[in-house]
Amino acid sequence: MIMAETNNSVKNIGLRGVKVADTRISDVDGTNGILIYRGFPIEELAEHSTFEETAYLLLHDALPKEEQLEDFKKMFTEARELPAFVFDVIRRLPKTSRPMDVLQASVPLLGMADREPEDESRGANLSKAIRLIARIPMIVAGWDRIRNGHEPLPADENLSHAGNFLWQLRGTYPDPETAKDLDTALILHADHSFNASTFACRAVVSTRAHMYAAVAAGVGALSGRLHGGANAEVMKMLDELRGEDDVPGWVRKQLDSGRKIMGMGHAVYKTTDPRARFLKNMCFRLGKKLGEEHWCRLSTQIEETAVAEFARRGKTTIKPNVDFFSAPVYHMMGIPGDLMTPLFAVSRIAGWTAHIIEEKFGDAQGEKPALYRPSSEYTGHYCGKEACTYTPIDQRK
């Protein structure tokens, strides 16, 4: 029996620190708390760019010129014409369905709605990416309206991508400042190198499956509470706590019983996540404007108490991640708790599709892209010398 050689040091550690591929899209420096997209620090983009422009950057490896950005936005507008069957199917789903399940189920429907499903050229894949970026927010907002007994709203092409999402979700026009804050939050969530959902997308597309198959896997991976699902869990924690006085006892109890403080800790960052710093400032600014600063004070109280308590237990690297302050920010924007993870997908679809295209065309590897196929160590039974022999069911003791 031939067994592949296994390097024991990389087993059962969730591939931490294992470099599985080259990428030109983004990089995370976990020691120094630095995130870059296509060479640009996240702070530069969050301060100066828009989600649309950042999506272009992720997909094209360069910032657009004015005309290129206008064409890109026009493609978004056109993509918002969705064939009627998509919402006809979604309307038939149980109203209690979890929004991430609805989103994951809708991705293949979007594939069926694609007007060039068999075209696997780079141009067609870029068009599919733009259609997905435009349509995923429509599904998220549309589902929330449907489950609440309303009809999905038509898009308003005069609004930004973020502004249009808020309009299609709430049915009221957002004030420009709130739309800009959501736009910034979308920039911050748009990509994060080889996180679990992006890796899932890349693994699926390495089989030469199409973009929609890969994105459906990405949505599934994002839904988990250790990944994108954490923001919804943070909101539950804030709802459960309410008062700042509850925090010290609650944090200790949580840690003593081996439970996690959601929105804290990271597989790569061993210092504060740069996105969390940005979202914390946004939280206080929004909170002040809306008279809801208590959410940010409560979050800060949890942050400070938990960091001190972790340190007391010898864990000095667990700090807030992107989900910690995005939850109160989204809450103040009127986003229901169970739509917070779908909203993560509304942004991350830009990164997923960029990675799918990079993987599909071997853009960073400089050689033929390989099918992902890691090895595992078999630790199961052998009942004979080298293998089990089959005993018919009526002869088994």
Ligand X SMILES: CC(C)(COP(=O)(O)OP(=O)(O)OC[C@H]1O[C@@H](n2cnc3c(N)ncnc32)[C@H](O)[C@@H]1OP(=O)(O)O)[C@@H](O)C(=O)NCCC(=O)NCCS
CA–CA separation, 98 vs 104, rounded Å?
10
Q: Between 133 and 302, name the residue whose CB sits nearer to ligand X.
A: 302
Which CB atom, from 226 or from 290, has the smaller least distance to ligand X? 226
* Measured distance CA(254)–CA(252) in Å, rounded: 5
Closest CB 127 distance from ligand X, rounded Å: 31
Name the token pair of 118: 């068999």
Q: How far is the CB of 341 from ligand X (least distance, A)?
A: 11
Site for ligand X, rule CB under 6 A: 226, 230, 260-267, 315, 318, 321-323
From CA 104, how far away is CA 90, in angstroms rounded? Answer: 11
Q: How far is the CB of 313 from ligand X (least distance, A)?
A: 8
Q: To the nearest whole angstrom, how small is the minimum distance from the Cβ of residue 306 to ligand X?
A: 7
Nearer to ligand X, 89 or 226 (CB): 226
Task: Please report how close the Cβ of residue 253 comes to ligand X at its closest, in angstroms.
Answer: 12
Q: Report the residue count for the chain.
A: 397
Nearest approach in angstroms of CB 162 to ligand X is 21
Closer CB to ligand X, 52 or 323, in the complex: 323
Residue at token pair 């509470």: 225
Q: Give SS3 for 37.
A: strand
Write the DSSP string, 364-380: TTSSPPPPP-------S
Other Cβ atoms within 10 Å of 9 Cβ, number: 8
Between 130 and 262, whose beta carbon lies closer to ligand X?
262
Distance (Å, whole) CA 316 – CA 309: 9
Toward ligand X, which CB reaches closer, 55 or 230?
Answer: 230
Sheet harboring 34-37: ordered strands across? 26-29, 34-37, 40-41
What are the Cα distances from residue 205, in Å, to 87, 133, 198, 230, 396? 26, 18, 11, 26, 43
- 172-177 LR contacts (CB < 8 Å, sep 24+): 177/289
Residue least distant from ligand X (Cβ): 265
CA angle 198, 199, 202 (to 5 degrees): 90
Catalytically annotated residues:
266, 323
